[in-house]
Amino acid sequence: MSSSPDFLSALRDSTDELRRLARSTHDTIVPDCPGWSGRDVIVHLGRVYASVTAIVDARATGPLDPGQAANAPEKSAVFDWIDERCDAMLTALSNIAPDEKVWTWSDDHTGRFYRRRMVHETAVHVCDLQRAIAITTTMDRAMACDGIDEAYGVILPPGMRRKARAFPPSTLHLHCTDGPGEWMIIPDGDALDVRHEHSKGDVAWRGSAVALMLAAWGRRHTGVVAFGDPRASEEWSSLGI
């Protein structure tokens, strides 16, 4: 895994794929996002992009309303709208230095947070759309490994606190089968202790980096093979993000 991932390059690749998929999945049911069609996924991402663009452009010190930019138009006009949201977000994130200060909902108040967050938010939903039309998922392996770090180290703990939910009382070990990558996930109150080590957990998931990242996001049937306590494995799977 790279110590300095090129998030902007990866984000450009993912948004390019998103734009292509928008047209072919607009009316498709997306099983990984229950109750959503491809259009719903597109609109969700466009609204997220509008919010991030507003915050980053303003170098905000608190949350901002993105205004009209977040309003998706009807029918085929949504394709030009998502193009505009992608372009505006990429411009905003290109113009903020990784260490430059800006408001975020996390403990990391820098431009780097949004570059990383948008890479993984986009990549997972691109995979959702690809899986919905039964084509091979495309995600850079190094980015998938970083996405696992982000899921357990950054996203899940505050999400669980907001929902007043507790982590499973079990440990989870993830093991990549397509290259380097191991994680030991240990609940620690309302936080997670994430270690890159080979250890025996109550549950073990083995699979490709992409499959493990999707599983961390609560996606099912990703190709991950689970070992250990089936109930504990289901509890970790159901956390979702």
Q: For the segment 225-238, what is each residue's pLDDT rounded down to a tens digit?
A: 999 999 999 999 99
Using alpha carbons, select from 140, 114, 177, 96 the residue that is nearest to residue 2.
140
Interval 16-37 mean pLDDT: 97
Residue 17: per-residue pLDDT? 97
List, for residues 188-219, the tens digit of each pLDDT value.
Answer: 988 999 999 999 999 999 999 999 999 999 99
- pLDDT of 241 > 80? The answer is no
Q: CA-to-CA distance for 17 and 25, rounded, in angstroms? A: 12
Q: CA-to-CA distance for 195 and 75, rounded, in angstroms? A: 46
pTM comes to 0.94
Task: For 179-224, list the strands marked E by DSSP.
Answer: 182-188, 191-195, 203-207
Residue 2: per-residue pLDDT? 41
Q: Which residue has the tokens 């699979």?
A: 207
List, for residues 98-138, the tens digit of each pLDDT value.
Answer: 999 999 999 899 999 999 999 999 999 999 999 999 999 98
**Domains in the chain, CATH or no CATH each:** 7-136 (1.20.120.450), 142-237 (3.30.1050.10)
Using alpha carbons, select from 140, 212, 199 the residue that is nearest to residue 173.
199
